[in-house]
Amino acid sequence: MAATDSSVASVGAKKASGSSLGEAWRQLRTPLVYLLPAIILMMIVTFYPIGFQIWMSFTDYGVIKSEGKQTLNRFGPSGEAPPNYRPAQFIGFENYKDILTNDPQFVAQLGGTFDFWRQLGFNLWWTFSNVGFHVALGVLIAVLLNIEGLWGRKIYRAIYILPMVLPGIVIATVWRNMFDDQYGAVNQLIALLLPGDDPVRIRWFNQLEPPIPGIPLPLSYYAMLITNIWLGWPFMTVVATGALQSIPKEMYEAASIDGATGPQQFWRITLPLLRPAMVPAAMVGIVTTFNLFHVIYFMSGGGPLGQTEIMVTQAFKLINVNQLYGVAAAFSVLIALVLIPIFLITNKISRATESYDV
Amino acid sequence: MSSPATTLNRRSRGTGSTTAGRRLKWWQQLLAQLLCLFIAATVLFPILWIVSMSIDPRNLARPTELNLIPPGASFDAYLAVLDKPTANPVTFTQLTLNSLKLAGGVSLFALLIGVSAAYAFSRFKFPGRQWMMIGVLAITVLPAVATIAPLFALLNSIRISAGALQIAFVVAAALAIAFGLMVIVPALRAGTAGVSTWAIGGVAIFFGLALIWGALNPPAGELFVLRNSLLGVGIAMISGALPFAIWNLKGYIDTIPKELEEAAIIDGASANQIFFQIVLPLAVPALAVTGFLGFMGGWTEFFLSWQFLTQPQDFTLAMALYNMTGQYAGSVPWSRFAAFSILISLPVAIVYLLLQRYIVGGLTLGGVKG
């Protein structure tokens, strides 16, 4: 019924007539042809693996050290199953229980530093502290660059976009070496700025005691925070610049005629009008930072003692190091459960999947 | 209340304020310049550090001081890296080719399959549309690392014979070439072929030809495990790349004005004619940008290839970079690490800067819509 109103948009839909089922089919027929390749491929390579993952999370898939068996390699060199192969067994909610209750035996198996709830807490804190800096700096720098009459604006814009342009893996590895305790540029720079000739040897990634007393965050968190601030604000500046340029100048003129000062104009005009653009951008930033594998894995590797591990790096280690595929699958399901509310809120705020035809 | 005099007074004061003014006072300009220069310095510091290290001729195992241009700068480190990047028996060319195959293939097929789905989402109303779009978007939110366990397990249990691989390659080649022609031919007819048309169409056709060459030169072994091959990694990567491509392309196609299509409908054009002759040619710049973003993701993809691949001849650039840092750094001089980083980054960074305007437009699309 409603769909016939927008007959222009629905190219394939002709006149509405007949039963509602027939009507639905008529609407579906043409788009289905275009969707079919994507649907088939996604069913095979995306949704089927996700379903399989949920099944895996209830099994002991992986290397079972206690039995000297494995469920992974069904094919040996000759094509036959190797002697230590056995099919995966259903173990119910065992994997979930091990993760959520930090089962001591399970934690010992992972090297003794695993703590699910601390990881989740750190992951959330990591996300929000980063995105907070990104948005604040991004907006401020965009406003700075938007000052009329500023010299060299184009040059600055060209320079400021550089962190967005470089591959994340390169940025992470370069910053890892910059924070090296013996040869890193950061320590050398600090030595340069400090009086005296003593070499600075801050052990960015190994120092255990928190640098700020009372806040239980290791030094490596701050090193990665600096890196990720460097990495993240240009995107927010780009978004904010786009939004700033759509604010009519007359608004500021009218405001200054009414006697509004610069700060007043910033708080009352600029910020409220930036909000519609910045909120979705911040949401994108939250999801990206929550899943930011490169910076954590290549810089601290989760150290010291697993204090800066986030969920995606832990999920990778469960496979890459521990070869516990069933546990990793359960862990990934938990990641999805954390992300789904974030996604739903994002979707609600940005109204991304709603019809564009409003 | 406000006499003309005070209004004028206020206005002149307003011009001095940071947002509405036309000319800055000298101290305001100075302050802003200092701030901007400081920010530029923080942005450039790591980049200059890595550049200066890469041209350091002393080939220091580890740098001990900060020098912008080290004495007697040379490109030795670049030559050393190009010659033998890691301890593994694999050349730089081979690493680059593997990364190119993965990144190019994945982004090309994601585009090819994604563009028609994006068109359907953008231009049709049909039952279940909302749910399908949520399904696509939700996948783009999930981290790729989170599906590595099932993809590894599933691909590890598939073995492929060389013959089957040849057939698959030929089919894929046909698809790629057809896609390339689909992009180029209508644009040529309409006389709208631009740089992006030739780039996308050319890459597609070239890739198709490369696939045919691959089909003619099958791997030596009889059977191989799909997981332990570039093809397997590619399949795993497309699982995340396709939803991203669909979503990104839908955003762009939404912005293409519908007037042309409306006119074509009145002239009695079918949905197919509209897609191939109107939407596809107009969407070519969007294809280029989305394809490039997909390429950039694949170019430095790390965890899937690191987990899946065991044979040195399949290794990629990102894997070699990881070999040069952290716990594997061992004896690799940092000048080589620096040179290698720059060699990886430079091509994508240049293309990114060239496409910057379009990419930024796409990134902010979602935001502006809300």
Give the closest residue to B211 by CA, choosing from B280, B108, B312, B117. B108
Measured between CA atoms, how close is B342 to chain A, in angstroms? 8
**Residue B9 sits at the chain A interface (C-beta within 8 Å):** no
Please report the pLDDT score of residue A289 as a whole number. 92
Measured between CA atoms, how close is B104 to chain A, in angstroms? 16
* Nearest beta carbon to residue A46 from set B44, B139, B223: B139
240-259 in B: which are within 8 Å (CB) of A? Answer: 240, 242-243, 246, 254, 258
Task: For residue A12, give both structure tokens.
Answer: 């394939």
* Nearest beta carbon to residue A159 from set B44, B64, B242: B44
Contacts (Cβ under 8 Å, ≥6 apart) of A191: A198, A199, A200
pLDDT along chain A (358 residues), means of 10: 40 51 82 92 93 93 83 76 84 91 88 89 94 95 89 89 91 90 84 80 85 85 94 92 86 87 86 85 88 91 87 92 92 92 75 50
Nearest residue in B to A252, CA atom: B20
Nearest residue in A to B275, CA atom: A34
Q: Is residue B276 part of a domain?
A: yes
Please report the pLDDT score of residue A351 as a whole number. 63
Measured between CA atoms, how close is A228 to chain B, in angstroms? 12
Measured between CA atoms, how close is A311 to chain B, in angstroms? 9
**Residue B128 sits at the chain A interface (C-beta within 8 Å):** yes
Q: Which of A43, A146, A173, A320 to mutate to test the interface with B (most CBs of B within 10 A)?
A: A173
Kindly list the residues from chain A whose CB atom is less than 8 angstroms away from the CB atom of residue B62: 180, 182-183
Measured between CA atoms, how close is A34 to chain B, in angstroms? 5
Contact, B65 vs B55, CB < 8 A? no
Q: How many CB atoms lie within 10 A of CB A190?
A: 13
Nearest residue in A to B337, CA atom: A174
Q: What is the CATH number of the domain that holds B294?
A: 1.10.3720.10
Asked if B147 and A53 come within 8 Å (Cβ–Cβ), the reply is yes
Task: For residue B220, give both structure tokens.
Answer: 């030596």
pLDDT in tens, B175-186: 999 999 988 888
Phi, psi (rounded to 5 degrees) for A311: -65, -40
Contacts (Cβ under 8 Å, ≥6 apart) of B345: A166, A167, A170
Nearest residue in B to A279, CA atom: B367
Nearest residue in A to B232, CA atom: A45
Q: Is the pLDDT of residue B60 over 70?
A: no
Q: At what angle do helices A153-160 and B26-54 cross, to 10 degrees?
A: 40
Q: Which of B125, B267, B304 to mutate to test the interface with A (most CBs of A within 10 A)?
A: B125
| CA atoms of A335 and A196, how far apart (whole Å) | 49
Give the closest residue to B187 by CA, choosing from B269, B279, B288, B291. B279
Nearest residue in B to A37, CA atom: B113
Q: Is residue B283 part of a domain?
A: yes
Q: Is the pLDDT of residue B174 over 80?
A: yes
| CA atoms of A127 and A335, how far apart (whole Å) | 14
- Which uninterrupted H or E stretch holds A64? strand A63-64
Kindly list the residues from chain B whose CB atom is less than 8 angstroms away from the CB atom of residue A325: 149, 152-153
Kindly list the residues from chain A whose CB atom is less than 8 angstroms away from the CB atom of residue B134: 347, 353
- The average confidence (pLDDT) of chain B is 82
Task: Record the pTM.
Answer: 0.85
Strand partners, A64: A69
Kindly list the residues from chain B whose CB atom is less than 8 angstroms away from the CB atom of residue A178: 46, 49
Q: Is residue B23 part of a domain?
A: no
Measured between CA atoms, how close is B191 to chain A, in angstroms? 26
Chain position carrying tokens 């000739």: A197
| CA atoms of B106 and B102, how far apart (whole Å) | 6
| Domain boundaries of chain A, sorted by first residue | 63-108, 129-282
Please report the pLDDT score of residue B9 as a whole number. 38
| CA atoms of B327 and A298, how far apart (whole Å) | 10
Give the closest residue to B135 by CA, choosing from A2, A311, A343. A343
Contact, B288 vs B355, CB < 8 A? yes
Q: Is residue B242 part of a domain?
A: yes
Kindly list the residues from chain B whose CB atom is less than 8 angstroms away from the CB atom of residue A346: 141
| CA atoms of B283 and B61, how far apart (whole Å) | 49
Q: Is residue B55 part of a domain?
A: no
| CA atoms of A1 and B178, how far apart (whole Å) | 39
* Nearest beta carbon to residue A239 from set B22, B225, B367: B367
Is A26 strand, coil or helix? helix
Q: How many CB atoms lie within 10 A of CB A269?
A: 19
CATH node for A129-282: 1.10.3720.10
Q: Residue A3 carries which DSSP code? A: G
Q: How would you class A14 by CB atoms within 10 Å of its CB: exposed for 0-12, middle for 13-18, buried for 19 or more?
A: exposed
Kindly list the residues from chain A whose CB atom is less than 8 angstroms away from the CB atom of residue B337: 173, 177
Q: Is the pLDDT of residue B304 over 60?
A: yes
- Which uninterrupted H or E stretch holds B159? strand B159-161
pLDDT in tens, B309-334: 988 888 999 988 888 875 556 667 78
Contact, B215 vs B170, CB < 8 A? yes
Please report the pLDDT score of residue B126 as a whole number. 87
Kindly list the residues from chain A whose CB atom is less than 8 angstroms away from the CB atom of residue B146: 312, 315, 332, 335-336
Please report the pLDDT score of residue A8 as a whole number. 42
Kindly list the residues from chain B whose CB atom is less than 8 angstroms away from the CB atom of residue A141: 39
Nearest residue in A to B1, CA atom: A258
Count the domains in chain B: 1
Nearest residue in A to B235, CA atom: A45
Chain position carrying tokens 């814009």: A157
Give the closest residue to A94 by CA, choosing from A326, A340, A258, A351. A326
Q: Is the pLDDT of residue B52 over 60?
A: yes
Contact, B181 vs B205, CB < 8 A? yes
* Nearest beta carbon to residue B150 from set A38, A52, A79: A52
Instruction: State the Cα angle at A92 between A89 and A94, rounded to 5°.
Output: 100
Q: Which of A273, A316, A318, A342 to mutate to test the interface with B (most CBs of B within 10 A)?
A: A316
Q: Is residue B287 part of a domain?
A: yes
Please report the pLDDT score of residue A58 as a whole number. 94
Phi, psi (rounded to 5 degrees) for A267: -75, -35
282-301 in B: which are within 8 Å (CB) of A? Answer: 296, 299-300
Give residue B351's domain range. Answer: 92-161+188-194+221-369
Asked if A185 and B46 come within 8 Å (Cβ–Cβ), the reply is yes
Contacts (Cβ under 8 Å, ≥6 apart) of A167: B296, B299, B300, B344, B345, B348
Q: Given pLDDT bands bounded at 50, 70 and 90, which one contains residue B71?
A: low
173-232 in B: which are within 8 Å (CB) of A? Answer: 223, 225
Phi, psi (rounded to 5 degrees) for A183: -115, 5
> How much is the average pLDDT of B106-125?
92
Lowest mean pLDDT among A153-157, B22-26, B138-142: B22-26
- Counting one residue from chain A and one from chain B, the pairs whose CB atoms sit within 8 A come to 372
Measured between CA atoms, how close is A67 to chain B, in angstroms? 20
Got the DSSP string for A106-146? HHHHTTS---HHHHHHHHHHHHHHHHHHHHHHHHHHHHHHT
Measured between CA atoms, how close is B255 to chain A, in angstroms? 10
Contact, A142 vs A241, CB < 8 A? yes
Q: Is residue B43 part of a domain?
A: no
Contact, B165 vs B218, CB < 8 A? yes
